[in-house]
Amino acid sequence: MRKRMYFFLTAVLVAVTFLVACGGSDGASSSGDGDSGTVELDYWVPFSGGDGEYMAEMVDEFNSSQDDIQVNMLNVDWGEYYTKLRTALASNTAPDVSIAHQSKLSELVPTGALTDLSQVAEEVEFDWSNISENQLEATVFDDKNYAVPLDSHALIMYYNKDYLADAGLLDENEEIKMEPGVDGFVSMLEELQASLPDGVFPFASQTDDVHPFWIWYALYSQMEDGGEYITDDQASFNNAAGEEALQVMSDMTEQGLWPKNVTNGYDLFKTGKAAINFTGVWATGNYEQNEELNFGAASLPVFFDQSQTWGDSHTLVLPAQDDQAQQQAAMEFVKWLSDNSVIWAGAGHVPANTAVVESDEFNQLEYRPSYADVAEDINYMPRSPQLWPSNDIMQKNFNAMMNGSMSVTEALDQAEQEVNALLSK
């Protein structure tokens, strides 16, 4: 009798353990056809703050616009997003649709886990010609479309109209009056500095994150003999142009126009403690929340030969799967997102769908139309599976340069050496 009890107890414990262990994976793979004939799609995004709200709004609107497809959005923390996506791709637990940055595609495409969209796009009559050329080109690998660009988000210039007007630096269109070139920009900053109240910086972009690298990349791309970052798996930025671009930034900090160790560049500008700020277009949605802030947004000034900037795109990708119906539904959703990306422009991004950018609806938005053509100026980053780790190396060394612990040439030499070591692995 007792023996049986023990046996029974053990069996129960074993059973419970297995149930617990299996329960987790059960919930994770919930995609598939729902009960009522609707297709359920899992959709992963890495959007915090305003971006996340606009995307949630789009998903809600899509879900209520039709009855056949139900999209379940999972908003993953930015820091963990690609870890989760890449591991999910490797273990066949990826969602039906997900966001991927253009700069991440050269890492994701070689894994073979993304679907070539050519065929499924045809099935839902997706019109590739609507997507702006610069953005589309950046997502083609071996003549195949692996992604639908949703937007482009580039580095642009934000300026506080009140401070610039006080310094007499605004023209009748409320744009900044300045001579072209580095000198023009710097002397404008100096003039501005003279009239600013105490505690307000003429220029402040964050210096302890990726901003110095982005700004350098934009300036470097503006030079005719610049813009090369990684070529044939080799670092190709440690040259006269690269040095000149970085020197501009170093000089700005040395002259006290750009403070050192800025850890909250967004807040400084948003709260009126900085007159000019270079950052990504996504800041528009953030800055306009402060109703007292009278600001303008424009493409970066031309410091050198041509109008170019750093930028990236959010693209939509379909992880590979066998279920054709599922993929087709996913592509329907992608098409809808692209066609309705004027909602997405609310977050500050420039839609990649040219029909949307030309629409009245977009042009009635505040701020966004004034920098919409920046999309053509983006010098997309080179294709390398090690692009992101390489960017981390650049960021780290440039930050050290910005806070004064490295010289311009030291930072470039060190970064070149580390990037080459990384790429040779």
Q: In the complex, which residues of this chain contact another protein (CB under 8 A)? A: 6, 9-10, 13-14, 16-17, 20-21, 83, 86-87, 89-90, 107, 110-113, 208, 259-264, 267-268, 385-386, 388-389, 392, 396-397, 399-400, 403, 405-406, 418, 421-422, 425
Question: Given the complex with another protein, which of 142 and 425 has the nearer CB atom?
Answer: 425
The conformational region for residue 321 under phi > 0 = left, psi -120 to 50 = alpha, else beta, is: beta
Contact by Cβ (8 Å): 155, 363: no
In the complex, minimum distance from the CB of residue 125 to another protein, in angstroms, rounded to a whole number = 33
In the complex, minimum distance from the CB of residue 6 to another protein, in angstroms, rounded to a whole number = 6
Question: Given the complex with another protein, which of 307 and 417 has the nearer CB atom?
Answer: 417
> Using a CB cutoff of 8 Å and minimum separation of 24, what contacts does 108-112 make?
108/317, 109/141, 109/146, 110/385, 111/86, 112/320
Question: Given the complex with another protein, which of 89 and 375 has the nearer CB atom?
Answer: 89
Short-list 9, 69, 65, CA closest to 36: 69
Sole residue written with tokens 């900037």: 309
Question: Given the complex with another protein, which of 108 and 248 has the nearer CB atom?
Answer: 108
In the numeric block, which tokens belong to residue 385? 């599976």
In the complex, minimum distance from the CB of residue 246 to another protein, in angstroms, rounded to a whole number = 15
In the complex, minimum distance from the CB of residue 318 to another protein, in angstroms, rounded to a whole number = 17
In the complex, minimum distance from the CB of residue 407 to another protein, in angstroms, rounded to a whole number = 13
Find how far residue 411's CA is from the centre of its chain: 25
Contacts of 344 (CB under 8 A, 6+ apart): 54, 55, 58, 150, 151, 337, 351
- Secondary structure class of 350 (helix, strand, coil): strand
Contact by Cβ (8 Å): 202, 276: yes
- The H or E element that residue 166 is part of is helix 161-166
Rg of the chain, C-alpha, whole Å? 25
Question: Given the complex with another protein, which of 13 and 28 has the nearer CB atom?
Answer: 13
In the complex, minimum distance from the CB of residue 389 to another protein, in angstroms, rounded to a whole number = 5
Question: Given the complex with another protein, which of 84 and 335 has the nearer CB atom?
Answer: 84
Question: Given the complex with another protein, which of 378 and 381 has the nearer CB atom?
Answer: 381
In the complex, minimum distance from the CB of residue 17 to another protein, in angstroms, rounded to a whole number = 4
